[in-house]
């Protein structure tokens, strides 16, 4: 598979930093960003690389030449720095006869490319976007996926008020089939952008999927981001977050832990975050723990709510947290209940299952999806079921004390905290 790096823009937002040097050549930990990318591509066997240059192209070409010094083959395609990234990509069409990977030259990343490419192939996808949650969904263009990870909509900003969407954004890493290029139809005076102008056209015409990953992908297009990326590189954080490495997680119950629990929550208008919830999850985000919700939602089985309504409530949770600068890496819920006899119950879900806490199905599913190291991970919840699930999964547990309730089965290993914020501080301490 060939790899394409789009590296032709001026990097205006970085001001003086890019006056005499193209943005992809800015050094982080002693190496140009482009060299970090080329090393990553080579590591995963992608040695045939096309760099799409523009602004100060000679600086890039003079440094990398034909790529032999770096163990790769590099082809350059130079174009006007003012054209859009989609127009620039189309210039490589004659070089592309099979699926190819696309990166932006101002992005620092360390992701398991083999895992991404396998996902693309297994889905028989024509267009795969790397997506992830971020801590500012309110001012980001959002991507919506279904349960099969297929992208079904793009929601550009500004969006209608009082509507909620999944907190998933386009990370700017793609795997395309050559057929995608036919949708790029250049217009005089218009800088065509892949995300804004091209990808929305593909929905319904091609198989387009979202590959959701918690790995490190961050553009350094502003001085603030450049400073943060440099810090993350120097501390080794970028490499540690690769999916090849096991991560720790803090699993969170939802009702009564993240939000007020009115009992059988089924009305989205009744969903309200508990005090300091966003502070707690921001603390998790600032650590290297994953923040993952695992929630029993038996109201589906009882016929009080359906799956779509559960998803809408979870979207509201994501957006409310995002408005405060917090994000969740994953959300899992169990719609089952073993008891029958409820008026209007849904027999499809009135079953014994392996996911309803205190069973550990949601924990093990998340463990597989995110390559989580369970023993040093934690679960925080306000019920006995949460704690027993954690004990069954052999992870650490914290019980949020509620009305001074005492659960004998939770002792002696379980720690206690008055709320989620206190529990997270206890873990990170």
Q: What b-and-e string marks burial along 96-126, b requiring 16 or more CB atoms within 10 Å of the CB?
A: beebbbbbbbbbbbbbbbebbbebbeebebb
Give the pairing type, strands 290-296 and 378-381: unpaired
**255 included as an active-site residue:** yes
Q: How far apart are CA 427 and CA 380, in angstroms?
A: 10
Could you tell me the strand order of the sheet in which 415-417 lies? 330-334, 290-296, 249-252, 378-381, 396-400, 415-417
Q: Assign residue 336 a region (left: φ > 0; alpha: ψ between -120 and 50; beta: otherwise).
A: beta
Among residues 232, 253, 386, 419, which one is catalytic?
253
Cβ contact 241:138 at 8 Å:
no
Q: What b-and-e string marks burial along 234-246, b requiring 16 or more CB atoms within 10 Å of the CB?
A: eeeebeebbbeee
Among residues 106, 255, 329, 382, which one is catalytic?
255
Residues 6+ apart with CB under 8 A from 426: 398, 415, 417
- In 3D space, the residue among 54, 29, 49, 23 whose CA is nearest the CA of residue 38 turns out to be 49
**329 included as an active-site residue:** no
Task: Cite the active site residues.
Answer: 253, 255
């Amino acid at each position: 598979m060939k790899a394409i790096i789009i590296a032709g823009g001026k990097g205006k937002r970085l001001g003086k930093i890019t006056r005499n040097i193209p943005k992809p050549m800015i050094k982080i930990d002693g190496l140009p960003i482009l060299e970090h990318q080329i090393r990553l591509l080579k590591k995963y066997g992608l040695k045939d690389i096309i760099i799409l240059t523009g602004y100060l192209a000679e600086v890039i070409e003079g440094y990398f030449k034909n790529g032999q010094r770096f163990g790769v083959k590099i082809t350059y395609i130079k174009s006007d720095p003012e054209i859009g990234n989609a127009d620039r990509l189309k210039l490589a069409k004659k070089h592309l006869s099979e699926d190819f990977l696309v990166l932006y030259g101002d992005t620092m990343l360390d992701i398991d490319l083999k895992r991404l490419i396998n996902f693309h192939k297994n889905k028989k996808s024509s267009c795969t976007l790397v997506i992830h949650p971020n801590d500012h969904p309110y001012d980001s263009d959002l991507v919506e996926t279904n349960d099969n990870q297929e992208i079904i909509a793009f929601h550009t900003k500004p969006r209608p008020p009082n509507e909620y969407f999944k907190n998933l954004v386009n990370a700017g890493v793609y795997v395309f089939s050559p057929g995608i290029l036919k949708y790029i139809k250049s217009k005089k005076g218009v800088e065509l952008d892949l995300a804004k102008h091209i990808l929305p056209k593909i929905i319904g015409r091609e198989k387009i999927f979202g590959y959701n990953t918690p790995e490190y992908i961050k553009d350094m297009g502003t001085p603030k981001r450049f400073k943060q990326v440099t810090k993350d590189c120097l501390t080794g954080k970028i490499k540690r977050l690769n999916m090849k490495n096991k991560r720790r997680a803090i699993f969170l119950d939802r009702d009564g832990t993240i939000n007020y629990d009115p009992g059988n929550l089924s009305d989205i208008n009744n969903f309200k975050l508990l005090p300091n919830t966003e502070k707690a999850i921001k603390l998790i985000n600032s650590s290297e723990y994953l923040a993952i919700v695992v929630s029993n939602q038996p109201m589906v089985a009882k016929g009080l709510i359906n799956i779509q309504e559960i998803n809408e409530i979870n979207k509201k949770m994501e957006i409310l947290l995002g408005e405060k600068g917090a994000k969740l890496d994953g959300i899992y819920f169990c719609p089952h209940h073993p008891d029958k006899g409820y008026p209007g119950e849904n027999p499809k879900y009135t079953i014994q299952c392996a996911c309803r806490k205190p069973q550990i199905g949601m924990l093990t599913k998340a463990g597989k999806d995110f390559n989580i190291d369970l023993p040093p991970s934690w679960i925080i919840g306000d019920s006995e079921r949460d704690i027993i699930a954690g004990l069954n999964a052999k992870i650490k547990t914290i019980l949020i004390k509620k009305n001074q309730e005492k659960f004998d089965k939770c002792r002696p290993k379980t720690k206690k905290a008055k709320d989620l914020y206190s529990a997270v501080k206890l873990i990170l301490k």
